[in-house]
């Protein structure tokens, strides 16, 4: 059993289902981590241990994978993920200014989450929407041509 | 099937979506229904059109009229005037920025007129979620020929004749690669599609996957037939949810039609494809790292040989091709290798898709025949540099590439010719930079990217890129000392020759090429503590040159922190206490009056 304040019984059930359906698939650790993170919101270390036991893999392997890929987060995430594109095109178009303003306004740097868990800020590499540079994504929504003021306006819409 | 009077091909690519295509589509659908036109007029959401800069865009077929920058407020007028009365709405048509001339027909717009569509031939022309529309455009015909009429040797010969080279960056001949894998011994072989498009500024693979997913599947099936593979994976970036969605649907439809799975088209040939989503690691675009990642490990490259054609995924013979490469294969088998090789240069055949962005008017995806000059691409298709600024350099090939200055703009698009001027074809990222771009800052940007994405396995790349970044940071901060530039050159040389994989071996390129063409900018930073392009904040004074100031107040308007004081007919002044050094005023001033 896995006991953790951020994991509800429903989440636990979902985690067990995910592990059970992938136990015998070689190379399943990345999809399993992805789905578990989707269920819980992040990957607490206790959960990583639990997954490694479930998949019968060394803890170091699972931990190694979880820390290698930028998709996975071992710390709690905000309700909304703000991804600011620091790709070349956005950089040339001055995205740094918007990024700095967001950071200053909410008091978080890249990779950090606000204390009220409202936003997690991430600097990401090229979102592939260079035609709209500078670009940011809030959850699954893409916003183009963002100036610092607009970026803040957009964020205010997310509670 | 219901016959429609008009087909409205509305771009549903990521760019247009972000510009409001979704709302527009909803409003359009409601209005067509209200006017009882929904049986005559059909709205089709296509993949990325490529002209993202003016989105949302829509093509009216069969007339070929192109609308741009659409909003839901335009719907009523559009339906009333154009679709009922037959008068295109002038204000929503494309206008040539230079001549202000209105160009209603898409194929007449210079952005499209100078392109040649092969890998992107279906973009904006079909509903990417309909397998029937793909088939109606000769889709899967090449695959049918490959499984029923040709031997594996003949398929490989045809691809060799076409001269198709790897579009992911390295440019290795696809037919030769297949030949190696076909000869390799093994009962299980794999075909992989590299859709882990990671170069900042490149989005052609995303566009192809979103606009024409079946073309990629068709290419994979043909490759599988050629090498005798039974299983394929598409390794797709997690940042591309729409591409994953469309690919999943395409795979399902192809299975239902008997084009994928067991006994394809009754030929006795079995092949199936699964999607594997990446988890955000740039290095996984490297082939051996990508295979490790599918195996569920950390995506770290390993030395070659053995090459993946002999020992790849799970140590089985494996062929890995990029999305754009595979999207060309179906047409090559259908029309013949000679057809494909009929355009291009001696060593680079066919077409290449480029993602043009940065300081250029027509931002978007372009597909051009090999051999076209960079100048033509940037100034004719791209429409030149905005804001009447001067061209400075173009960065080709992303973090592994280099920049090309004005004097080499007549270089043709060709793997070898581009390499000669110090850049690479790469995956096709084209970032145009105007005179306000600082080359030290640019090199620093790429080095920041690379040292962050270095997987950490080999020392030269892990440590070396970090040392380069430190030196560049120091130079940009105004603390450069004599000798720094020489150390940079030394480090670049070591990293280039001793790194394990392509990422490390090419990592110094952005520094080397900016040093090669813009060494005087590095010198200015180090010896004069001056940033000629005025981008490095630590080297700027944040004062207004009273002689140059034309009293226009543009700087006052853009300042986010209220640090600039200005009144009509008066020179502006910057309050250093309030200034946050965001550089907005530098960007806004058209008279270069801020020092």
**Residue of A129, A133, A152 to mutate for B, most B C-beta atoms under 10 A:** A129
Q: What is the mean pLDDT of chain B?
A: 93
Residue B431 with chain A: CB contacts under 8 Å: 88-89, 92
CATH number for the segment(s) B541-595: 3.30.70.20
Residue A31 with chain B: CB contacts under 8 Å: 277
Residue A80 pairs in a beta bridge with A119
Q: Dump pLDDT digits (tens) for B160-209.
A: 999 999 998 889 999 999 999 999 999 999 999 999 998 887 889 999 99
Nearest to B203 among A93, A128, A143 (CB): A128
**H or E, element range at B431:** strand B429-434
CATH fold for domain B131-341: Rossmann fold (3.40.50)
Going by pLDDT thresholds of 50, 70 and 90, the confidence category of residue B2 is low
Going by pLDDT thresholds of 50, 70 and 90, the confidence category of residue B41 is very high
pLDDT of res. A133: 83
Residue B314 with chain A: CB contacts under 8 Å: 26
Topology match between the domains B131-341 and B439-527: no
The arithmetic mean of pLDDT across residues A1-14, rounded, is 91
Q: Dump pLDDT digits (tens) for B441-486.
A: 999 989 999 998 999 999 999 999 999 999 999 999 999 999 999 9
ipTM: 0.85
Q: Dump pLDDT digits (tens) for B508-528.
A: 999 999 999 999 999 999 999
Q: Give the CA diameter of chain A.
A: 51
Nearest to B18 among A30, A126, A144 (CB): A144
Residue A129 with chain B: CB contacts under 8 Å: 14-15, 18, 52, 203
Contact between A71 and B240 using a beta-carbon 8 Å cutoff = no
Please report, for chain B, the start and end positions of each structural domain, with discontinuous segments joined by +. 6-107, 131-341, 351-434, 439-527, 541-595
Alpha helices in B200-281 (DSSP H): 204-211, 213-227, 241-256
Q: Which residues contact B568 (CB under 8 A, 6 or more apart)?
A: B551, B553
Cα–Cα distance measured from residue B567 to residue A75, given in angstroms and rounded to the nearest whole number:
50
Say what the alpha-carbon torsion angle B220, B222, B228, B229 is, to the nearest 10 degrees. Answer: 20
pLDDT of res. B560: 73
Going by pLDDT thresholds of 50, 70 and 90, the confidence category of residue B226 is very high
With a cut of 70, say whether residue B102 has pLDDT above it: yes
Cα–Cα distance measured from residue B208 to residue B322, given in angstroms and rounded to the nearest whole number:
11
- Express as a percent the part of chain B with pLDDT over 90: 81
pLDDT of res. A91: 82
Q: Report whether CATH 3.30.70.260 matches the domain B6-107.
A: no
Range picked from B361-370, B407-416, B543-552 for highest mean pLDDT:
B407-416
Range picked from A66-80, B41-55, B133-147, B569-583 for highest mean pLDDT:
B133-147
The arithmetic mean of pLDDT across residues B532-545, rounded, is 92
Cα R_g (chain B), whole angstroms: 26
Q: Which of B269, B286, B281 is nearest to B232 (CA)?
A: B269
Q: The tokens 């996984």 sit on which residue?
A: B284
A-contacting residues in B 397-426 (Cβ below 8 Å): 398
pLDDT of res. B459: 96
The arithmetic mean of pLDDT across residues B107-130, rounded, is 92
With a cut of 60, say whether residue B1 has pLDDT above it: no
Q: Does B298 touch chain A (CB under 8 A)?
A: yes
Residues in chain A: 159
The arithmetic mean of pLDDT across residues A61-70, rounded, is 94
Strands laid side by side in the B190-195 sheet: B272-277, B231-236, B190-195, B318-322
CATH number for the segment(s) B351-434: 3.10.20.600
CATH fold for domain B439-527: de novo design (two linked rop proteins) (1.20.1440)
Token readout for B132 is 């029937």
Cα–Cα distance measured from residue B345 to residue B349, given in angstroms and rounded to the nearest whole number:
6
With a cut of 90, say whether residue A154 has pLDDT above it: yes
The arithmetic mean of pLDDT across residues B368-387, rounded, is 94
Answer whether A98's CB lies under 8 Å from B583's CB.
no
pLDDT of res. A89: 79
Q: Dump pLDDT digits (tens) for B379-391.
A: 999 999 998 899 9
Going by pLDDT thresholds of 50, 70 and 90, the confidence category of residue A45 is very high
With a cut of 70, say whether residue B275 has pLDDT above it: yes
Q: CA of A9 to nearest chain B CA: how many angstroms apart?
A: 27
Contact between B52 and A34 using a beta-carbon 8 Å cutoff = no
Q: Dump pLDDT digits (tens) for A111-138.
A: 899 999 999 999 887 777 777 889 999 9
How far, in Å, are B156, B160, B163, B235, B422 from residue B174 at the CA level? 9, 7, 8, 18, 24
How far, in Å, are B60, B71, B109, B206 from residue B82 at the CA level? 10, 16, 20, 32
Residue B504 pairs in a beta bridge with none
pLDDT of res. B240: 87
Cα–Cα distance measured from residue B244 to residue B235, given in angstroms and rounded to the nearest whole number:
10
Higher-pLDDT residue of A30, B49: A30
pLDDT of res. B387: 86
């Amino acid at each position: 059993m896995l006991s953790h304040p951020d994991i509800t019984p429903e989440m636990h059930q979902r985690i067990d289902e995910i592990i059970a359906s992938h136990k015998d698939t070689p190379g399943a650790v990345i999809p399993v981590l992805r789905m578990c993170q989707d269920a819980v919101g992040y990957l607490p270390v206790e959960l990583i241990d639990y997954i490694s036991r479930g998949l019968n893999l060394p803890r170091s392997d699972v931990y190694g994978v979880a820390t290698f890929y930028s998709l996975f987060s071992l710390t709690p995430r905000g309700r909304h993920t703000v991804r600011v594109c620091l790709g070349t095109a956005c950089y040339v178009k001055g995205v740094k200014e918007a990024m700095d303003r967001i950071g200053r306004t909410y008091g978080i740097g890249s990779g950090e989450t606000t204390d009220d868990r409202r936003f997690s800020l991430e600097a990401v590499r090229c979102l592939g929407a260079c035609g709209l540079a500078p670009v940011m994504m809030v959850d699954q929504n893409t916003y183009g041509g963002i100036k610092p003021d607009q970026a803040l306006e957009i964020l205010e819409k997310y509670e | 099937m219901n016959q429609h009077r008009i087909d409205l091909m509305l771009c549903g690519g990521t760019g247009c979506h972000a510009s409001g295509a979704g709302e527009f589509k909803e409003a359009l659908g409601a209005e067509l229904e209200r006017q009882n036109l929904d049986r005559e007029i059909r709205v089709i959401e296509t993949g990325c059109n490529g002209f993202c800069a003016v989105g949302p865009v829509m093509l009216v077929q069969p007339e070929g009229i192109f609308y741009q920058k659409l909003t839901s407020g335009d719907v009523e007028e559009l339906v009333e005037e154009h679709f009922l009365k037959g008068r295109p709405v002038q204000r929503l048509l494309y206008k040539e920025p230079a001549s202000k001339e209105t160009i209603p027909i898409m194929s007449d717009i210079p952005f499209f007129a100078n392109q040649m569509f092969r890998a992107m031939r279906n973009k904006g022309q079909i509903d990417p979620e309909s397998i029937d529309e793909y088939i109606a455009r000769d889709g899967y015909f090449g695959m049918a020929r490959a499984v029923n009429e040709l031997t594996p040797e003949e398929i490989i010969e045809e691809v060799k004749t076409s001269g198709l080279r790897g579009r992911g960056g390295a440019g290795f001949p696809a037919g030769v690669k297949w030949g190696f894998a076909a000869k390799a011994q093994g009962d299980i072989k794999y075909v992989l599609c590299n859709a882990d498009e990671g170069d900042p500024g490149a989005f052609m693979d995303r566009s192809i996957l979103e606009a024409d997913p079946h073309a990629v599947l068709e290419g994979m099936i043909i490759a599988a037939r050629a090498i005798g593979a039974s299983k394929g994976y598409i390794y797709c970036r997690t940042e591309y949810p729409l591409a994953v969605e469309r690919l999943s649907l395409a795979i399902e439809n192809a299975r239902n039609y008997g084009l994928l799975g067991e006994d394809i088209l009754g030929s006795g040939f079995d092949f199936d494809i699964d999607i594997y989503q990446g988890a955000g690691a740039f290095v996984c675009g490297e082939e051996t790292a990508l295979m490790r990642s599918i195996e569920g490990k950390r995506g770290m490259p390993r030395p070659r040989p053995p090459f993946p054609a002999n020992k790849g995924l799970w140590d089985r013979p494996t062929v890995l091709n990029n999305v754009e490469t595979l999207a060309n294969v179906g047409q090559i088998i259908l029309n013949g290798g000679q057809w494909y090789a009929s355009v291009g240069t001696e060593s680079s055949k066919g077409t290449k898709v480029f993602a043009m962005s940065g300081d250029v008017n027509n931002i978007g995806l372009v597909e051009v025949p090999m051999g076209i000059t960079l100048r033509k691409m940037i100034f004719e298709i791209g429409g030149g540099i905005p804001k009447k600024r001067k061209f400075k350099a173009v960065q080709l090939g992303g973090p592994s590439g280099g920049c090309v200055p004005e004097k080499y703009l007549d270089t043709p698009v060709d793997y070898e010719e581009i390499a000669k001027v110090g850049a690479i074809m790469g995956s096709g990222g084209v970032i145009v930079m105007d005179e306000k771009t600082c080359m030290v800052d640019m090199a620093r940007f790429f080095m920041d990217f690379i040292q962050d994405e270095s997987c950490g396995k080999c020392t030269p790349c892990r440590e070396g890129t970090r040392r380069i970044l430190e030196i560049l940071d120091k130079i940009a901060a105004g603390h450069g000392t004599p000798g720094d530039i020489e150390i940079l050159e030394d480090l670049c040389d070591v990293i280039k020759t001793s790194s394990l994989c392509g990422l490390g071996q090419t990592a110094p390129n952005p520094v080397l090429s900016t040093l090669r063409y813009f060494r005087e900018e590095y010198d200015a930073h180090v010896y004069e503590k001056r940033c000629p392009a005025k981008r490095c904040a630590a080297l700027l004074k944040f004062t207004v040159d009273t002689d140059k100031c034309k009293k226009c107040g543009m700087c006052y308007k853009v300042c986010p922190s209220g640090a600039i004081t200005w009144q009509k007919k008066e020179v502006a002044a910057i309050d250093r206490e309030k200034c946050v050094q965001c550089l907005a005023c530098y960007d806004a001033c058209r008279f270069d009056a801020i020092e």
